Structure formats: C-alpha cells, structure tokens
Amino acid sequence: MRRIPTSGEPTMATQDDDRLEADVPALALKALKEAQQRAAQAGHTRVLVRDGRLVSIRNGTITLLKQLPPRKKLTVRSKRISS
C-alpha cells in the first residue's frame, strides 16, 4: 500500500522541483553568454552595463551611451505574517 505524505513532508516531486529550481540561475547565465556570443558573431550591436556606464558594443567598438547613477545597496528584510 502506498503511503500518502502529509502536508509537512516533502514529496519526491517537490524535491525534484527544488533541484531544478536551483539550476535556473546557472542555466540563465549560460543562455545569456551564448546569446551575447551569437550577437557578436552576427555583428549586432549589444547594449550592456560596464563599470557603471551604459555602453553599446559593435564590431569591437565601445560607445558610451550614459553614465549611470551609483548603485544603491539594499538590505534584505522579511515581512512577518501574523497568524
């Protein structure tokens, strides 16, 4: 007889989902790098942030588009939910 987990117990599907979710940032970074390489090889203009500046890059030529304001440090706060 198969045991049905209670609401507090992780299921196999939940554990698999957690593992897949943990891979998402690495997969996104890999996809972004591949897309940038394809754009550069095709000769397309790429716009990105470098050293606090918005720049465009085309055929190895970097053009300053805008100096960006300094980054602001944010603190992580959690909101408590009262029961």
> How far is 19 from 47, CA to CA, in rounded Å?
33
- Where is pLDDT greater, at 11 or 49? 49
Q: What is the mean pLDDT of residues 47-74?
A: 92
Task: Name the burial class of residue 24, with classes exposed (0-12), middle (13-18) and buried (19+) by CB atoms within 10 angstroms of its CB.
Answer: exposed
Bridge partners (DSSP) of residue 48 are 55
Global pTM exceeds 0.95: no
pLDDT band at 12 (very low <50, low <70, confident <90, very high): low
Q: Residues 35-50: pLDDT tens digits? A: 999 999 999 999 999 9
Q: What is the DSSP letter of 5?
A: P
